[in-house]
Structure 1
Amino acid sequence: MSCTEASMDALRQAGDDLADATVATLFERGEVGTFNTLMRYVSTAGAPLPDGLPDAAREYLRLTSAPPSWVDWGEMERARLFFLDNNVHISTALSFAAMPACYVVPHVARLLSATHGLAYPSKRMAETGQFTVHLMRPDAFEAGSRFIPAAQKVRLLHASIRHHLRRENLWDTGALGVPICQEDMIGGQMFFSLLVLDSLHRLGVHMSAEGARAYFYAWRVVGAMLGVDQDAVPATLEDARRFLDLYMIRHMGPSPEGAHLTRQLIDLYEEVVPGTFFDPVVSALIRHLVGDTCADWLEVPRTPWDTLVRAVPRLLGVLEDIEDRSPLGAWALDRLGHLTTVLELSSLTRGRVMHYAIPEQLKKDFGVPGTVPRSRRWTPPAPTVG
């Protein structure tokens, strides 16, 4: 797949026709409140749709009720096993690398401040965490799973934000393109896939080439279900590197919104960490994973822990040696990883299931101009720019 300034410019003018049309119809008919109320009771795939659901929503849910026909289920199972083997590391990368990367793109940082719900970082992080956990369950695409309804609702959430920004003239389409455009959606997909893999590599996590490719593939499936144009999505990790490098060069930089969202994120996780002694580890991890330039743009404070965090790869290497040599050690570390992930999600959600809804208005102050052997260890594709 070729990736050029011209092709990226074209992606900035495209949204999601199906979801956009559905949301427009719901607003035109005054049916958003009814939809949100009824959809709170639809949280599992295959559940009967409630009576009174607007026709436009019912048709959208029918059309988006199944994964793409091209899904390789063997590859999805490899992705699930990769996630189970690395769930704590992946959660760390999502929290301390992927989310701050979103904030270092100024127009994305502004957009993430657009709704009441996204103003609360615990809700945003809890939704991301639950979404990933739902995706990596063995029954993610079967009747009774929570992943497909979550994907359907997130897609409509994105469409509703596009609807509000354009209707209320709060987005400079001429300068910025369509809000939550295809370029930004693909960029987000790269943050949650390739950038997570980059972060695991930076942390010293041993990954097989097969596992890394499968994890990247799983997020391609996610992108398709969120309305991302698959003809434009990088199909390989090498193509993904070219796309992400160009995307970041085109857009990354400092912004007040990015710094504010990062401060919220740091405060959130400092509350989750017991006591105060280890609080600086949060800032140190973000700085380690995103690099000093991006960390400075996001106003991530420097701390005495910055140097100590660089020892994390050596510590993980010791733990992985234990895991490789001892079945009991492997079991104990897997259980610890599972419990850590559950504890983190429980802390963020306060024990509640997160519900996605179409916001009926934006914030009033918003303004925008199986385990694979480790003998074939994965290394990130080289940067495509100097």
Structure 2
Amino acid sequence: MQFIDLKTQYARIEQDVRSRIDAVLSHGQYIMGPEVQALEEELATFVGVEHCVGLSSGTDALLAAMMALEIGRGDEVITTPFTFIATAEMIALLGARPVFVDIDPVTYNIDPMALEGAITGRTRAIMPVSLYGQCADMDAVNAVAEAHNIPVIEDAAQSFGATYKGKRSCGLSTIGCTSFFPAKPLGAYGDAGACFTNDAELARQLREVRNHGQSRRYHHPRLGINGRLDTMQAAVLQSKLAIFPDEVEARGRLGARYSELLRARGAGTTAEPGESGVLTPSVAPGNTSVYAQYTLQVSDREAVAEALKARDIPTAVHYPVPLNEQPVFHVPGASATPVSAEVAERVISLPMHPYLTEEVQREVVEAVAEACGLEG
């Protein structure tokens, strides 16, 4: 059983992918070739924003976004500790300080109610993460940010394709950043990412940052990075984007089926925990999820993982240690994030991709139910 099945997807698009790659090999423009601009236009249209800037990874997208906003040494950026390290890593690499606030216990996304108390005179941005495939409460986050004239950078590495109150992830804030790492909902065949914005000036600055700070050849008005999106990856993403709406629909349907099957066995939800000790994810009203991960909470994660492994069912943990407890970021006496700490001990992710069959899902649910002592 595959945790994420890219082979089945490739079988579906093989001829188109090969044709697009052959076109790149024929024209030979491997850096910033025509496919890059074409993909940017297609992605901007999909998200519903004016500008998309392709980048070499989702991590570089976060870095470029903060560089375009001129965030640097001595500044502070508020974010969540319950995420992959890249979120805070890029803040720190710029010399700024990540300020961690706790998460909402239902969605696992940043708690907007905790933001106000974390803002100081040094706060230069708020960076919510749209975790596991659904957007953070962006209206609430944006309202706090606007009250303090602070930009918002959505880390949408896991939520590309999801919607929030009818708008797509990446089009909900000052700058939206996403990753096209192969395992993401929309994935390349290597590292890739993008930034999205409706601000033409920010888009110009992002394009300069990604290309060594150049405004024109050998003219560098700012510091930048080598963050260009490869033409080959852009071509692959064009092929995948054509089937992406269908895959988004499948992800939503399959995530809902997992939850339905598990609740039929007595599992609760993060919104309504019940007494089983097994909690399925909750999608907030107004949200859709692309289920980048389908993540449960269980009482004895190690035992559940071992039981599923014995039946050749892969699992993963996203994420076992909150970032404010990682050695590189831990500050004795800093504000605690108890929800993040508790959730990090209980979460476990099940196989999830658009090509799961109902038979496989039932097999996974049966194994979870047996391992957790669920009814029926």
TM-score when normalising by structure 2: 0.29
Q: Larger relative contact order (C-alpha < 8 A, sep ≥ 6)?
A: 1
